[in-house]
Amino acid sequence: MAKQRVPAIEGWFSMDEGRPALLGTRCSESGTYFFPPENAQSRVPGFAGSTLEEVRLSRTGTLWSYTNAAYQPPEPFVTTTEPFEPFCIAAVELAEEQMVVLGQVVAGIGVEDLEVGMEMELVLDTLYEDDDNAYVVWKWRPSGDHALTDQVRGDPR
């Protein structure tokens, strides 16, 4: 039986697998976005009385910088492969929101496949599993001309 797909954290992203989006909040008076969603009050000084509305953030952005985890991170990171498979981490700049958001890069993409300035797209992917559930998180992957080819998919580095 297929495992239930549940978010690894509640309320940070939508669960539509086709076109997922990060969920943030927006200070309605200043127009400032918050991710992770800020629910207490606007963090813009002087806008404490402004309402916070839930918004879907841009699904694509440009790569501001990137790195990788060449060694297994410590707990509470959950290892899913034995031996550990290095993965990339991307910092992606969203134009509309004027902010940079971190995320893992999907498996199969190495640092040699990445370049500052390239267009990146948000996807959902399994972070780890237990007996009942697959815990899902947002990740970044190159989009447009740099989109994954089947060849790259079948050739994880």
Chain residues that interact with another protein, rule: CB under 8 A? 8-10, 27, 30-36, 43-45, 64-71, 73-78, 87, 89, 91, 96-104, 111, 116-117, 127, 137
Opening angle at CA 92, ends 16 and 88, nearest 5: 85
Least distance (Å) from another protein to the CB of residue 90?
A: 9
- Nearer Cβ to another protein (69/150): 69
Least distance (Å) from another protein to the CB of residue 119?
A: 15
**Number of neighbours of residue 87 by Cβ within 10 angstroms:** 20
Q: Could you give the CA distance from residue 145 to residue 5 in angstroms, rounded to a whole number? A: 30
Least distance (Å) from another protein to the CB of residue 42?
A: 9
Q: Could you give the CA distance from residue 62 to residue 155 in angstroms, rounded to a whole number? A: 25
Q: Could you give the CA distance from residue 8 to residue 43 in angstroms, rounded to a whole number? A: 25
- Nearer Cβ to another protein (44/150): 44
